[in-house]
Chain A
């Protein structure tokens, strides 16, 4: 490493001067940070859309989970509607973990996470960009899980399906926030594949709990309870956004 770093040191002196000036100008405005977030998220999504590897494997894995669970809860040739919230959220969280692990494994293979962290972009923008990309992937998986659940469990929701979409999107955001911090921290750690779910799921418990409660309330057409849990889910997202922004800088150090 030192051998590679030394010869570029004089040149590196000149480059960041112009670079940081440009970025410094850009990042003073919130619009500049937003542009950086969009750039990081766009990069991740572009890489993903070229191979569609994570998208296909996540979606298929989530579909398999829904199918396996729906025939595990069959009674009189009909699947139990009471199992829908648990099945849907288990599928989303399990598939999400696969996608999360793979998305960061890709960064590790190319050693591109180091490049990202070395760039003059603020850590906050890198974190937010990665979170947005992961959240969009999870939303894409939910777009597979939701119709499958409604189909296999014979549920007809009508317009209430929009509430369910809102719940799932809030859940995807919460998952992406906590998941991004943990996956980024685990990047340099041995046995990261097995440790990620072990450390991630206990932290996700309030999200899974409020998500399943909200889903159950929507299925039971209980609007008051559903909105209560939607607000709880939004509060969960806010709390962990704050904690993640506080800690991401200190935790992800190369």
Chain B
């Protein structure tokens, strides 16, 4: 099953990336107000979609792990947490490029930007803990993911309320997707599907590696306990 699925997803992702790039630059119309700058939106927004789905997958799997104590849930949370860092990084970079073109600044302290930066930092901390905390850190990682997930709405409302007392938000709202031209909308959703394929592909490959590493550790420990392996 997985032998077919991974090459299939890889082919879909490659074709999708090439296809959306062609559509973005040669087929879709120029946006009325933003002109060429708007093109980055086809990559920027799907990446944030993937980040948020990976964060919620990570948080949900962490709750599952704490309830069931099954290492499978922990593997899912691990892979999802790492992918969240990756897609967040792409989203931040593409967002900065857009911000420089549209607002004249690489970064402003705006509602969505601040919230997503804090979320990304939380996930970066999560990835660091995964990498450096060593064995026995699974409950800590699960706790970190849950606290991070609960924190997102708090950060969002804190910044929103601070903004309300200050200036209005400059970032486009979610409803712009509904107002897109038909060709733009089609390209946008194709791009979302492409990044979903990239995300699923990376997730499957990563979770296999994580599971194999965990099994290898378990086998090694059993070997050490039985006295077959040298420490």
Contact = CB atoms under 8 A, between A and B. Distances in A.
In this complex, the interface size class of chain A, counting residues with CB under 8 Å from chain B, is 20 to 34
Interface in B140-178: 140, 142-144, 146-148, 150-151, 154-155, 157-159, 161-162, 165
A185 B162 CA distance: 32
Interface string A202-239: 11011001100100000000000100100010001001
A181 B132 contact: no
B144 A199 contact: yes
Given A191-B133, A195-B128, A239-B150, A202 B66 contact: no
Contact of A243 (B67, B142, B147, B161): B147
A215 to B, nearest CB: 13
Looking at chain B's contact residues, the main secondary structure is helix
Interface in B106-151: 118, 121-122, 125-126, 128-129, 132-134, 136-137, 139-140, 142-144, 146-148, 150-151
In this complex, the interface size class of chain B, counting residues with CB under 8 Å from chain A, is 20 to 34
Contacts of A236: 154
Interface centre among B66, B148, B158 (most CB of A within 10 A): B158
Nearest to B122: A202
B158 A232 contact: yes
A84 B66 CA distance: 41
Contact of B125 (A202, A206, A240): A202
A189 B158 contact: no
Interface string B21-52: 00000000000000000000000000000000
B110 to A, nearest CB: 14
Contacts of A203: 122, 147-148, 151
A205 B159 CA distance: 10
B196 to A, nearest CB: 27
Given A206-B151, A228-B161, 13 more contacts: A182-B147, A195-B128, A198-B125, A209-B159, A213-B162, A225-B165, A232-B158, A232-B161, A239-B154, A243-B146, A243-B150, A247-B143, A250-B139
A203 B159 CA distance: 14
A190 B118 CA distance: 25
6 contacts: A181-B143, A198-B128, A198-B129, A199-B125, A203-B151, A205-B158
